Structure 1
Amino acid sequence: MRMSNSTTRRRGLLALAISALACLFLFTPTASAHGTIVDPASRAYHCWQAWGSDHMNPAMQQQDPMCWQAFQANADTMWNWMSALRDGLGGNFQGATPDGQLCSNGLARNNSLNNPGQWKTTNISNNFTMHLYDQASHGADFFRVYVSKNGFDPTTQRLGWGNLDFITQTGRFAPANDITFNVQTSGYTGRHIVFTIWQASHLDQTYMWCSDVNFG
């Protein structure tokens, strides 16, 4: 039985629609919602937590100037505080991340996080607990934790690898929304940066963050 021209057109349009939907699902990127260090808060997370619901408030420029400049540069840095990842570094963290770009994890869209200045700090002791919140529960191959050297000034200097003291590398962690681990240090006082590398377990995905702290 021959189909009418209108039936043929309808079937053609239906096939085209199905094909378009298939392409949409095929090429949709994988979800990039993962996590960050929430305590002591990473720079982007602090700005989102403090100002995300009030980011148009002009008072931010005076009260929290580093968050203000970050929002002015690219508000998406804060909205996507959980997505500062890079794929396929193969453990070559230092070689793949130039000095001065550590706090942004080498991501140009997050470059405002590298800028020195009066970032808000979290008060910690020499023995403190770190808390990762991971929306996607990917677990960790390991975390590496560094502290900026005595004499380094985060208010005037961008962070480089030579400015860091290596503190510890953890073991593996099973998938979970919340991962906490203890860090023991000694000899630090005042303002520092805690620099953390999270190697996620599900793929070769690397996250790097700066948390501004005050050792009391």
Structure 2
Amino acid sequence: MTARRRILPAVAALGVAPLALTALAASPASAHGSMTDPVSRVSACFQEGPESPQSAACKAAVAASGAQAFYDWNEVNIGDAAGKHREIIPDGKLCSAGRDKYQGLDLPRADWPASDLSAGKHTFRYKATAPHKGSFELYITKDGYDPSKPLKWSDLESEPFAEVKDPTLTDGDYVFDGDIPKKSGRHLIYSIWQRSDSPEAFYTCSDVVFGKDSGAAANAPKAAAPSNDQIEKGAEESTVDHGGHGGDSAHEGHKAGDDAAKTDGAGNAPEAKGGGAEPVAAEEDLAETGGDSTTPYIAMGGAAVLAAGAAVLFGTARRRAAAGRRHG
């Protein structure tokens, strides 16, 4: 076997490694999840069924956002929030985190499916399809809150009534306690999950009722959280990998909401699907074990080193082959 033939397999192997590392570096790590006790709006509508929701509020939300937003119930996020929630999310768009993809969640109406609550200690549950280190802050609306008007930051109490860092993860749920202040009638609980291993943050709106609902909300349905079986089945239609890998990439074969899911260049809808799953998984594993925003640059540096090595190796093989022909 000539030197050239011996060296080609090695060059090919080295050539693949930089490509894999480059794909890894280009894939953002994403956490995923949503509040399920009390049930968030996006969770409630996913539970009803994105293709055929039952409640008037969820029907209107799907009409506004498309069904895909509710298959992607666990990704109401901002990738570079870094704690600047009030600065980057405008009034009236708190529930969607300012993303057009989820604009249906911002509809001001008093008949959203709601959870019954009472003042005092409550155990909260947050379904984490991709757990990560971070902290939760829970806010509740002020007395006099009007659900028929767009939700503003000023509608929330100025301080969170519950805060927790790295809560216990039990059977796929973050579980933590908080003391709910005394309220009456319909209110809203707003949660912020800020990762500590990334600038990414997640947001939820949960409609709740203290005592008796009234007015237009009197006949509103009770909110129900999706079951694990529903989550597993719904993952087939989601553009968000549920094992903690990737996020918001196009999913082939989806039946509805495709028109609403086109990108606008601002991360408001799925991007084109591409690349293998394994490099993305590797990136996500790094994030789960403490990797930070420098990880992609380390990966790209490694790719560059390997690429340079491949070039040197290939050049050496060519020189040896040429020398052999001369002496032959």
Q: Shorter-chain TM-score: what band? A: 0.7 to 0.9
Bigger relative CO (Cα 8 Å, ≥ 6 apart): 2
1:1-216 alignment runs, 5 A limit: 22=20, 25-26=23-24, 29-30=27-28, 32=30, 34-52=32-50, 55=51, 57=52, 60=53, 63-72=54-63, 73-117=65-109, 118-127=111-120, 128-140=122-134, 142-154=135-147, 156-165=148-157, 166-173=159-166, 176=169, 177-216=172-211
Shift of residue 99, structure 1, vs aligned partner: 0.5
- 1:5 paired residue number: none
Shift in CA distance, 175/182, structure 1 to aligned 2, threshold 3 Å: closer
Opposite residue 134 of structure 1, the aligned amino acid is A
Following the alignment from structure 1 to structure 2, what is the Cα–Cα distance between the partners of residues 174 and 147? 20
Opposite residue 78 of structure 2, the aligned amino acid is R
Normalising by structure 1, report the TM-score: 0.79
SS in 1 for 2:154: helix
Following the alignment from structure 2 to structure 1, what is the Cα–Cα distance between the partners of residues 131 and 104? 27
Shift in CA distance, 46/149, structure 1 to aligned 2, threshold 3 Å: same
| Alpha-carbon displacement from aligned partner over 1:87-132 (angstroms, at most 9, x marks no partner) | 2223221111111010111111111100111101011111222111
CA contact (8 A) 2:136 2:192 kept: yes
Shift of residue 194, structure 1, vs aligned partner: 0.5
CA contact (8 A) 2:33 2:127 kept: yes
| Alpha-carbon displacement from aligned partner over 1:25-50 (angstroms, at most 9, x marks no partner) | 44763464611111111111110012
Following the alignment from structure 2 to structure 1, what is the Cα–Cα distance between the partners of residues 21 and 202? 30
Opposite residue 60 of structure 2, the aligned amino acid is Q
CA contact (8 A) 2:137 2:163 kept: yes
- Size of the aligned set, in residue pairs, is 201
Opposite residue 123 of structure 1, the aligned amino acid is D
Shift in CA distance, 31/66, structure 1 to aligned 2, threshold 3 Å: farther
Structure 2 residues without counterparts, runs of 5 or longer: 3-8, 212-328
SS in 1 for 2:86: helix
Opposite residue 35 of structure 2, the aligned amino acid is I
Following the alignment from structure 1 to structure 2, what is the Cα–Cα distance between the partners of residues 96 and 35? 20
Opposite residue 130 of structure 1, the aligned amino acid is F
SS in 2 for 1:68: helix
- 2:272 paired residue number: none
Normalising by structure 2, report the TM-score: 0.54
Q: Which has the higher helix share?
A: 2
SS in 2 for 1:171: strand
Following the alignment from structure 1 to structure 2, what is the Cα–Cα distance between the partners of residues 31 and 69? 32
Following the alignment from structure 1 to structure 2, what is the Cα–Cα distance between the partners of residues 110 and 116? 14
CA contact (8 A) 2:137 2:164 kept: no
| Alpha-carbon displacement from aligned partner over 1:54-87 (angstroms, at most 9, x marks no partner) | x2x4xx4xx4111112222321221111111112
Following the alignment from structure 2 to structure 1, what is the Cα–Cα distance between the partners of residues 199 and 67? 27
Opposite residue 80 of structure 2, the aligned amino acid is G
Following the alignment from structure 1 to structure 2, what is the Cα–Cα distance between the partners of residues 208 and 68? 21
Q: Which has the higher strand share?
A: 1
Structure 1 residues without counterparts, runs of 5 or longer: 3-10
Shift in CA distance, 89/191, structure 1 to aligned 2, threshold 3 Å: same
